[in-house]
């Protein structure tokens, strides 16, 4: 079980940097092997499933963590825009590897391109006074166009490899990709922990935040860059086409049954984790694409949340706020 770890440690400079995370992945596999022995679950005998589950658990935390801020700022579609630019980033990596044999990870190029695209969305809005949806549409179109051009230039080598990024694939979650995801996860969680109050203030009242001395522009840029990291991290399981769903659907479901911003955030993480775990399990036994199954479970959970919220209102137990109007006073 440790042969893969030692092989990776000899692969190159990036693997040397990620060595502590490979060690953690090895421990994670050891734990899930124990769980397999106790429960008899068949899919836990495969290490690629161990990595997929870990990546899924991380996505279930960081996607709604960022998505809660985005939804309440009416930026739900930015995830879709950045997903298409991340697709361009993957195409850049595959193109460089195919033409120049650089050996760079497509996920690293996706991170770089997605972050640049996130900043461009903000810069276009600031420089042209265009609405955010206009700048998002421009960046989305540009990113997808760049990706398709690069694929067409080397269709023989890229067209096959690109499918796993478009639709996601549990079996292609390598140790390197899982380690990169853990780095992104750490950056996202640490940044939110350090800037939560400022981001919350900017989310609900930009004018008051600016008057109080908070740099609204800076925190807007921080939020879109974090969104880019989430999109790239989730892409390996969800795929480019469906990755934006995890930023929005669990948050929308949580808003139906929550009375405060903090409660909405916590509930959205629970709903996302439930959708991810059910989706991974069902997709394995059913032979379906994991991303699609996860999103279907997320939408189903959202529908149940809506029903529960309406029943709460009708019974007079709670006054459930509408999406976008959650009280932030006790956040």
User: Which tens digit of pLDDT belongs to each residue from 293-322?
Assistant: 999 999 999 999 999 999 888 887 555 455
Map residue 55 onto helix, strand or coil. Answer: helix
For the chain, the average pLDDT equals: 86
Average pLDDT estimate for 234-250: 89
Q: What is the pTM of this model?
A: 0.87
Please state the rounded mean pLDDT for residues 229-241.
88
Q: Return d(Cα 143, Cα 125) in angstroms, integer.
A: 17
From 17-21, 52-56, 67-71, the region with the lowest mean pLDDT = 17-21
Question: For residues 53 and 57, what is the distance between their CA atoms, to the nearest angstrom?
Answer: 6
- Taking each helix axis as running N to C, give the angle between helix 216-238 and helix 47-72, from 0 to 180 degrees, rounded to the nearest 10: 150
Mean pLDDT across 188-203: 94
Task: Scan for tokens 């106790």, then name that residue.
Answer: 38
Residue 96's pLDDT band, with cuts at 50, 70 and 90, is confident
Domain boundaries of the chain, sorted by first residue = 17-23+46-238
Q: What is the Cα Rg of the chain in Å? A: 20
| Confidence bin at 3 (pLDDT 50/70/90) | very low
Fold of 17-23+46-238: ABC transporter involved in vitamin B12 uptake, BtuC (1.10.3470)
């Amino acid at each position: 079980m440790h042969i893969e770890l030692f092989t990776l440690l000899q692969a190159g400079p990036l693997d040397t940097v990620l060595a502590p995370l490979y060690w953690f992945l090895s421990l994670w596999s050891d734990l899930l092997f124990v769980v397999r022995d106790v429960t008899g679950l068949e899919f836990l005998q495969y290490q690629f499933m161990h990595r997929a589950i870990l990546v899924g658990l991380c996505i279930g935390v960081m996607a709604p963590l960022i998505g809660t801020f985005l939804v309440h700022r009416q930026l739900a579609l930015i995830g879709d825009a950045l997903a298409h630019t991340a697709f361009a980033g993957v195409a850049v990596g595959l193109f460089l590897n195919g033409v120049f044999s650089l050996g760079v990870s497509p996920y690293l190029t996706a991170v770089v391109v997605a972050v640049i695209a996130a900043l461009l969305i903000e810069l276009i809005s600031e420089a042209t006074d265009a609405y955010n949806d206009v700048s998002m549409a421009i960046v989305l179109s540009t990113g997808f166009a760049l990706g398709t051009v690069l694929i067409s230039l080397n269709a023989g080598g890229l067209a096959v490899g690109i499918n796993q990024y478009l639709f996601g694939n549990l079996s292609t979650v390598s140790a390197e990709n899982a380690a990169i995801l853990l780095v992104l996860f750490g950056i996202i969680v640490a940044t939110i922990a350090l800037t939560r109050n400022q981001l919350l203030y900017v989310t609900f009242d930009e004018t008051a935040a600016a008057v109080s001395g908070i740099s609204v522009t800076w925190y807007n840029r921080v939020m879109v860059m974090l969104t880019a990291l989430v999109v790239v991290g989730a892409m390996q399981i969800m795929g480019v086409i469906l990755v934006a769903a995890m930023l929005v659907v669990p948050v929308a479901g949580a808003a139906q049954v929550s009375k405060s911003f903090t409660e909405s955030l916590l509930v959205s993480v629970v709903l996302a984790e439930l959708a991810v775990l059910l989706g991974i399990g069902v997709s394995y036994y059913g032979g379906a694409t994991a991303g699609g199954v996860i999103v279907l479970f997320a939408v189903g959970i959202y529908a149940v949340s809506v029903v529960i919220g309406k029943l709460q209102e009708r019974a007079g137990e709670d006054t459930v706020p509408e999406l976008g109007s959650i009280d932030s006073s006790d956040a």
